Structures are given as C-alpha cells and as structure tokens.
Structure 1
Amino acid sequence: MLKFFCGVLLALGTMVAPCTQAASVLFLNPGTTGEAFWLSYSQFMQAAARDLAMDLRIQYADHLAETTLAQAREALQGPGRPDYLVFVNEQYVAPEILRLAQGSGVKLFMVNNALTPDQMSLLGSQPEKYPDWLGSLVPNDEEGGYLMLKELIRLHPPAAPGQVIELLAFSGLKVTPAAQLREKGMMRALAEHPEVRLRQLVYGGWTRERAYEQAGLLFKRYPRASLVWTANDEMAFGVMQAYVEAGGEPGKDALFGTINHSPAALRALLDGRLSVLLGGHFSLGGWALVQLHDYDQGVDFGQYGGRDRQIPLLQLIDRAQAERLLTLGVRQDYGVDFQKLSAKGQPASYRYPFSLQTLLH
C-alpha cells in the first residue's frame, strides 16, 4: 500500500526524491524458538532478508494449528497487512489460510509442506479462486526418508544366516505431510531389504521429550533393535538418551539416523553417536525470499524452475561437510550472496541454484 501512495505522490509532483518501500514479509513459523531446526530456519531467512533489503517478521506457533490460523487471520484481515505471507502446510492449515486470504491483497507462498494430493484435488481445480497464491518450495522428503534407511542398512553388519536386523522408527506428526513422505521413503527402502524387520513405528510429535518416553518402552520391548530411524534431530536426541539409559552405546550397539543438521546433530555425527545425518532443507525459507524479491521486481519466477518446486535439498552429510556447516552456522550471512541468486536479467535457461552445495561452495 505504501508503494502505491509513493507512486501517487510522485505523479502529483509532491515528492522530488524517489520513494521506495521495502517489501514486507511475514513468516508463520510452525515451530518453537527452542527448536534448533526452526531457529536456524528463521536465521537463514533473516540473512536473506538483510541481503535483499526486505522487511521480514517472524511469528512462532509452537506446533499449534489454531495459533497459526489465528496469526494468519490477523495478518490477512487486520490493519497491518504484509505484502507477502509465507507459511507451512503443517497440520493441513493451508486451505483455511487460502480462504482467509481471499480479497486481502496479500500474496501467499508455501514452504516445506505444500498442498497434499487430496488438497490439490479439491483446490487445484479452482486456481482462479486464489490469484494471490504464488507458489511453493518443498524438499525431497520421501527421498530423505529412503536415503536415511538405505545408508543405515549399508553401515550395519550383515545379518547372520536365519537372523533379521531389527528396526525401530520414530516419525513426526501424522498430520504433517513431511512426516508422511519421510515414512513413505523409509517403507520403500524397507521393501528392498527383507533382512530388516520393522518392529514398531511410533509418532514422537517432533519432540525430544515424547520420543524419549516412547523409546524407554520400546527398548525394553525390543532389546535387540540395532537400527533406529528418526524423522528429526530433536526426536533422535530423546531416543539416544533413552538408549544410553538402557545400557546401550549409540553408534556402536545400535546405529541412529536422522534429519536436520542442527549444530548438536552435526557434532553428534562427528563424534559417532549419529551414524547417518541428512540436512539442507532449513534453507527453504531463504530461497523463497529470493523468489519473492524477484516477483516484487517484476520477474516471473515460475519461468526459472516452476511455480511449485520440489528441491533435492535433503542429502547425506559427511564429516567434512559437517565441519563446514558448523563453521557457516556462526556466520550471520551463511556465506551466501542472495542478490546474486536473482533471476532478474538472466537468460530463459537460468535455474535458481537452490541447493546445499550453494552453502558448501
């Protein structure tokens, strides 16, 4: 709105200096300020916003769908509306946010969890109803779940004749698309390895405390379990704590794998407690800001990779990469020149270079 008034004032000749207003962005972070992943996610977005001269605000929902929807309602129907609203389809909140946004003039962008196939079938047939919905960026969650189990199995000693390798799995929230996709990937890997037996899959709700409680019971029930698949690092640490208390040594008596390269997870990989770690998707919000900045500059970012994109961000992290990521984590700019990633002025063949390699160059 301020941009409009600037243009009017300039047209009337009442201002002599150029009047520019930074694009305002509100990110509805579904997590908590105490979660390393969501905190690093916000910090990477803030680095991008500084570099791109965007006005970024972040609100946390503590994994409560009703909080996210209340924040969205205020942002979309209240007095101080942002130019752009970035949000996550955690707990299936996207359709309601799209409904709330109608007529608001606020542009919408989804990250991490986009619409589910069922939601797409309901909403995708009416794209004209949501002209302010710009697009989405999601990671390769299914592949991430698959790669984690495949690598755990590769690292595990072969099963003795007539024996099986016992696996325990800790997923996130049943109503989070990312958790469902990671599970699906794990099941795909499991189907390729009949020597591995999934003893139990539980939902730790992404939290250390819940996974710790569940693991305490499961390790008593399945003392021979030697592979542990966890959908995020917070749960992995809860499960490892329970395993140590049960008399086991992570990385030796059982192999643990997880997703999210928080500093604690990187250090656990380096010291051998974690055997498999995947990461990279904490950068999605920052990459989304590059696209929104381009849109604000009149660039059709859909021409440079698509309106709705899945990026192969989740990849196995080795020890050298872990060392590099720990070093980058203490830098406010993460070593990235976000301006240089813009598609403005680029040829039609240009594709946004959004990857973990952009960080690890």
Structure 2
Amino acid sequence: MLKALGLWLGVLFPVVAQGASVVFLNPGHGKEDYWVRYAAFMQAAADELGMHLRVEYSDREVATTRDQARQVLESADKPDYLVMVNEQYVAPQILRLAHDSGVKMFLVNNPLTPAQTHTIDAQPQVYAPVLGTLTVNDEQAGFQMLHGLLAKLPASNGTIDLLAFSAVKNTPASQAREDGMRRALADYPQVRLRQVVYGGWSRQRAYEQAQVLVQRYPDARLVWCANDEMAFGAMQAFAEAGREPGRDVLFSAVNASPQALQARIDGRLSVLVGGHFTVGGWAMVMLHDDAHGVPVDRDGQREHTVPALQLIDAAGAQRWLQRLRRPDLGVRFRPLSAEGRGPDYRYPFLQPPQL
C-alpha cells in the first residue's frame, strides 16, 4: 500500500533532480568590480541551469583562500565541484587538501604552471586530479595592447619610451600578459622599455609607483598596464605631473569595467581589451554538462582557452556598457549546453565573441 502511494505521489509530484553544487573560491575583494561581476555572471548561469553556487571571497589573501578550501573540503556537506584560480600559485595546496575528498576540481583564469602540472600528475596519491581548466588568451592580449598603443602614435624616427605595470610575478595570467608585451617589443626596435613594475592589480600601489616613474622617465609616451585599476592609478600620477592621459602619454588596460569603458570612450584609455570576466559563467555551463554525463574532456582535452579578451574600441565600449546593465549580459546559457548534442558540438564561447 505504501509503495503504491509513493508511486502515486511520484506521478502527481515528480521528483526534481537536484542541480550540481559548486563552490567558487573567488580570489578578489567583495567590492572589486571585476571579481564581483565575474561572480554575478556565474550566478546568472547557475540560476538558469538549475545549479547551486556559493562564492567565497578571499580579498587577495592566499592564506584565506587555503582556509576557505579546507573548510569546504572538510565539511559534511561538500559540493560536487570546487572552482578555483591559481592566483599566487595556490592551486597545488588546495589540490593536496582535496585528495580523496570526492569533490571535482576545476581551474579558471590561471592554470597550473608546467612545473606544478608535472608534480601533481606524478603524485596521484597526494593530489586530487584536475577535472579541467578554462583560461583566456592573456598572452595575446598583452601583445595586442602594445601593438595598439604603437598604432595610436604619430609616425616618428626617434626612440619611444615605454613603461609597463605588470601585476604579480607568481600569477600565470599576469605573467602571460607581460610575456605578450615583451613578444610585441620585437616588432618595434624603436621602443625602449624603461622599466617594468609590479603593481599587484592595485590602483593605489600603481599610483605610488607611477609618482616615481613619471619623474624618473619624463619622456615616457606609452604606459602598458595589465589591468584597469593599475592604469587608473598610473593615470592619476601622470595627470598630477601635468601629463594628460590620451594626449601627452597613451595608456592601455585590461578589463571591461564601466569606468574603463568610459575612459575608452573619452579617449583617456587609448587601448582597452576586456571580456574575461565571463569565464566563470562558461565554466558553469561545462560543469552542468559534466554533471549530466557530458565529460569536460570529451574532446580529449582537459585544458581549454576562451578567446574572451578582445580589443574594445569606442563603439564597442558603448555596446559593452549597455550589456553590463544585466548580470547575465543578455546571454542565454541553457542553449549553450552540449547535453543532447552530437560528439562534434563545440561550445560557442570557445570561438571569438561577436560584440
């Protein structure tokens, strides 16, 4: 009788399958525009795909990230997936904590270094395996920014002084952008890279560094910056020294924040690349599919690159500002899923975006 009643209730009130649960260890600050928008786009994807997402901000403290990971992995209610960023090379510590936890590990934005990969793959009894990695075209972005800056300068036979604000030495994305900038230098023998400083993604730190550099290199005409916050800090110092951004000295930056987009429209930023805050949302699509039996590595690869970082001109900046009014950017996530599609299906977000 009870069995029949249960079947009858199942017909009237069908059991809804629980969506996959995800914890994202966000390395940024809870008030940092880039990482807040990043998490909001992830949440929009989770909502549409029926997934459960929890975001933990570490305020750029590696020890906090490690502690958050330990709490998640030792809790009685573990998530299905833990998404993390290899910021300041923290990933191996977390993968060690995750060994035998049953939680699937996924990396975004900053991949493992080759040395880390070798160590982890050689010791499966110590480290949890990495389900997959989703990164962006950081090296290409660094290359394009310098090319874009040079294209804005009037033709000249003289030497051109360049300053560069990289972020941190032990974060793969930062290093990749700097590598791209250095690769582009080979195309411009007239450009003299006077100094590279590491601003830690921070506006205040870059401002303080730029106060020194603008006095040390008064003829600098180009300032390459690995993110928008450092660009704005450097701009402030140059403006205070009587060097007008966009006229006397040209700046580049990474990130499609509202402030950066407006600066691109106004001409204070001469070159801007952005779009990479969408990566977490695309990762949610892949994890949704994995939870429904469509493996992340079904194409034979664990590591995928999203060409999300694209040059944004003034007209593109206007379009981005319109899109930013919605956390989901007007994107429908469910139609992007590989669930129910043929083996040749390729995620659209792995193709260059049309914005």
What range is the shorter-chain TM-score in?
over 0.9
Q: Report the secondary structure of 1:303's partner residue.
A: coil
Measure the CA separation in 1 of the matches of 2:313 and 2:122: 43
Measure the CA separation in 1 of the matches of 2:329 and 2:354: 7
The residue that corresponds to 2:232 in the other structure is 237
Q: In the alignment, which of 275, 282, 290 is matched to residue 280 of structure 1?
A: 275
The offset of 1:173, in angstroms, is 1.1
Matched to 1:228, the amino acid is: V
Contact 1:305/1:352 (CA < 8 Å) preserved in 2? no
The residue that corresponds to 1:86 in the other structure is 83
The residue that corresponds to 2:222 in the other structure is 227
Change in Cα spacing, 1:348 to 1:156, as seen in structure 2 (3 Å) is: same
The offset of 1:67, in angstroms, is 0.5
Matched, 1:336 2:331: yes
Measure the CA separation in 2 of the matches of 1:206 and 1:222: 22
The offset of 1:314, in angstroms, is 1.2
Contact 2:307/2:352 (CA < 8 Å) preserved in 1? no
Matched to 1:205, the amino acid is: G
Measure the CA separation in 2 of the matches of 1:129 and 1:349: 35
Contact 1:304/1:351 (CA < 8 Å) preserved in 2? no
Matched, 1:292 2:301: no
Matched to 1:289, the amino acid is: M
The offset of 1:128, in angstroms, is 7.5
Q: In the alignment, which of 312, 328, 350 is matched to residue 345 of structure 2?
A: 350
The residue that corresponds to 1:167 in the other structure is 162
Change in Cα spacing, 1:35 to 1:21, as seen in structure 2 (3 Å) is: same
Measure the CA separation in 1 of the matches of 2:203 and 2:300: 37
Contact 2:149/2:252 (CA < 8 Å) preserved in 1? yes
Contact 2:294/2:338 (CA < 8 Å) preserved in 1? yes
The offset of 1:348, in angstroms, is 1.6
Q: In the alignment, which of 260, 264, 267 is matched to residue 265 of structure 1?
A: 260
The 4+ residue runs of structure 1 with deviation greater than 6 A are 12-15
Matched to 1:71, the amino acid is: Q
Gaps of 5+ in 1: 1-8
Q: Report the secondary structure of 1:20's partner residue.
A: coil
Gaps of 5+ in 2: none
RMSD of Structure 2 on Structure 1 (CA): 2.0
Q: Report the secondary structure of 2:134's partner residue.
A: strand
Cα-to-partner distance string for 1:80-120 (whole Å, 9 max, x where unaligned): 31111100000111111111001111111000001011111
Matched, 1:202 2:197: yes
Cα-to-partner distance string for 1:135-168 (whole Å, 9 max, x where unaligned): 01000111111110111111112233xx210000
Cα-to-partner distance string for 1:252-276 (whole Å, 9 max, x where unaligned): 0011001111010000000000000
Q: In the alignment, which of 136, 141, 144 is matched to residue 138 of structure 2?
A: 141
Measure the CA separation in 2 of the matches of 1:276 and 1:256: 7
> Greater CA deviation, 206-215 or 40-49?
40-49
Q: Report the secondary structure of 2:297's partner residue.
A: helix
Matched, 1:66 2:63: yes
The offset of 1:233, in angstroms, is 0.4
Measure the CA separation in 1 of the matches of 2:16 and 2:304: 34
Identity of aligned residues (%): 55
Matched, 1:251 2:250: no
Taking structure 2 as the reference length, what is the TM-score of the superposition?
0.93
The offset of 1:126, in angstroms, is 4.5
Measure the CA separation in 1 of the matches of 2:109 and 2:234: 24
Change in Cα spacing, 1:77 to 1:29, as seen in structure 2 (3 Å) is: same
Measure the CA separation in 1 of the matches of 2:23 and 2:319: 30
Cα-to-partner distance string for 1:7-47 (whole Å, 9 max, x where unaligned): xx99x979734142222111000011222111111111111
Q: Report the secondary structure of 1:205's partner residue.
A: coil
The residue that corresponds to 1:216 in the other structure is 211
Taking structure 1 as the reference length, what is the TM-score of the superposition?
0.92
Contact 2:95/2:128 (CA < 8 Å) preserved in 1? no
The residue that corresponds to 2:26 in the other structure is 29
The residue that corresponds to 1:48 in the other structure is 45
> Greater CA deviation, 280-289 or 311-320?
311-320
